[in-house]
Amino acid sequence: MLLAFLAATPALAQDYRARLPQDEVIYFVLPDRFANGDPANDRGGLKGDRSTTGFDPADARYYHGGDLKGLASKLPYLQKLGITAIWVAPIFVNKPVQGGPGQQSAGYHGYWITDFTHVDPHFGTDAEFKALIDAAHARGMKVYMDIVANHTADVIQYRECVGANACPYRGKADYPYQRRGGVNGAPINPGFVGDAVQTGENFAKLTDPGYAYTPFVPAAEKNAKFPAWLNDPIYYHNRGDSTFAGESSTMGDFVGLDDLMTENPRVVAGMIDIYGSWIDRFGVDGFRIDTARHVNPEFWQAFVPAMLDRAHAKGIPNFHIFGEVADPAAQAAHTITAKFPSVLDFAFRQALLDSVAGTKGTDVFEKLFDGDVLYAHGFDTAITLPTFSGNHDNGRFAWFVRKAFPEASEAEVLQRVLLSNALLLTLRGVPTIYAGDEQGFAGGSNDVDAREDQFGSRVAQYNARKLVGSDGTTATPSFDETSPIFREIAGLARLRIAHPALTRGRQLLRAREDKPGLLAFSRFDPVTGAELVLAFNTSTAAITRQVEVETGSLRFHPLAGNCAATASAPGSLTITLPPLGYAVCAAETKQ
């Protein structure tokens, strides 16, 4: 498909902070894997081998050298791609390496935090983070931080599990707070009435953390965390590893990581202070909240309004907060129970996988968008959900395409990737591009396999995969502005920005099928009511169909793909699409 590119990039809003969350095109990046601006910080100022520094650019599980200075140097590249907001994976100080013998890996991803108040030296300095934000703002681009409140790095150990691979979860019924080590243990914590009474007075009576396990902090790590209150085991659940179900979902250790007792008002106040300070000091524009569903909803009910208040006080009126709720069936509920303004749209990703990287009908999108009424404010919330096709945890879209269609030609794989981007960049929600997707990164099905280096990799498993739309691999730097996927995203991003119907407009389903084939929507300018018709073909055969349009939409011109110049009759437009093709048609309403 030939995309009708715009002749010029539309200017961003003069005041970037006046843009609503749904006005953005987001780019998600792990700094360690993007661009290395300063090789001097590759080891984070630490001495020794990789078991100490965490640095080994040939191993997918270790630091590779990317940093904030490198990210700042690529802002022109991102702007050419049409990006308006950069979501940066956690940049806080991490435990460099953790894990038992044979299971060690590094905190290059940023989710093993020890110091919540400063930038990890592997990524640079606080000043360099501020410079990145200032440089982005000067270009009219926003910066979102990825934050964690569920857990810290794995520092706390349990006497009962020393040398063991895991500590099974111990629930509240069998290991109540008022007994040591089980219902028959010695009485402890007199007067504590349980974690459901979330007051300072009640939690002052919780003084002994030895109800399920006997937690301790190794001597070498007594003061490993900052702020200092984080070093006290009393502020953690200490119940062993989560099974990610039931009670353990919010109280268990996330794969061994120390699980904060977010029911405790001291923890709530501490996290508000920590993250409010990042807003105050750096003027960031939003937070993506990691592992959001593994925290009790009362925490978020206090935390989210506090962050919005801090942002408003800083002059940031449209601070975007979205939680990671990695369960399509539960994501809408969290906008009600936890009061999240927005959540990552895993359900949208699943619809893409089922249809474009699968063989289900286009009616999966009907079911998806019918669910928009379940969000706290219906479509007004749904339109702010960051949508995505793949990410650093769940794998890249291209990998799923190749898996689903192992006999497909590379040309077909490319067309399916291009089609997924067209859906992502034109339908409701906030399109989020995972770094490297624009270069055809083929990734893998899990976290480590989907975290390739963009600055030229030394990891054999990454470099063994051919890029989509190119004969290259990740062995050489991947910032090609002429690649077919880059050019498509850039064109569609600018198309989106130029047309409020695609950012803020109402969305109306026009056609869907119970098999691969036609999917069509209309979106409407929120001010003028002008109609854009979006049509997609998920099948490998060309199609011609009639699609309902507004009776006043009589003439059309193409914004992408090919469009009939006139309606077939009032209220009906002929849509002709090539295999795996799409079109965006703008109506010229009769005056």
Kindly report, residue by residue over 458-490, the tens digit of the pLDDT.
Answer: 999 999 999 999 999 999 999 999 999 999 999
User: Which run of H or of E encompasses 365?
Assistant: helix 363-370
The encoded tokens of residue 574 equal: 């002929």
**First-last CA distance in the chain:** 32
Greatest distance between any 2 Cα atoms in the chain = 82
Q: 397-404 and 346-355 helices cross at what angle (nearest 10)?
A: 30
The pLDDT confidence band at residue 164, using thresholds 50, 70 and 90, is low
The pLDDT confidence band at residue 14, using thresholds 50, 70 and 90, is low
Are 442 and 402 within 8 A, CB to CB?
yes
The pLDDT tens digits of the residues spanning 542-552 come to 999 999 999 99
* Residues 294-306, mean pLDDT to the nearest whole number: 98
The encoded tokens of residue 213 equal: 């396990």
pLDDT at position 162 is 77
Going 468 to 469 to 475 to 479, the CA torsion angle's sign is negative
Sequence spans of domains, the chain: 21-150+266-395+408-433+481-497, 154-260, 505-587
The yes-or-no verdict on residue 12 having pLDDT over 90 is no
Task: Give catalytic residue positions.
Answer: 290, 324
pLDDT at position 250 is 98
The pLDDT tens digits of the residues spanning 272-290 come to 999 999 999 999 999 999 9
* Residues 396-422, mean pLDDT to the nearest whole number: 98
pLDDT at position 360 is 98
The pLDDT tens digits of the residues spanning 101-127 come to 888 999 999 999 999 999 999 999 999
CA distance 392 to 395: 6
Q: How far is CA 177 from CA 233, 238, 244, 258, 528, in A?
A: 14, 11, 21, 18, 60
The encoded tokens of residue 191 equal: 């007067």
The pLDDT confidence band at residue 3, using thresholds 50, 70 and 90, is very low
Q: Which residues pair with 236 in a beta bridge?
A: 260
Q: Which residues pair with 87 in a beta bridge?
A: 28, 144
CA distance 98 to 95: 7
The encoded tokens of residue 40 equal: 């001097």
The pLDDT confidence band at residue 6, using thresholds 50, 70 and 90, is very low
The pLDDT tens digits of the residues spanning 252-271 come to 999 999 999 999 999 999 99
Unique residue bearing structure tokens 């054999």? 460
What CATH number belongs to 505-587?
2.60.40.1180
What CATH number belongs to 21-150+266-395+408-433+481-497?
3.20.20.80
The yes-or-no verdict on residue 398 having pLDDT over 50 is yes
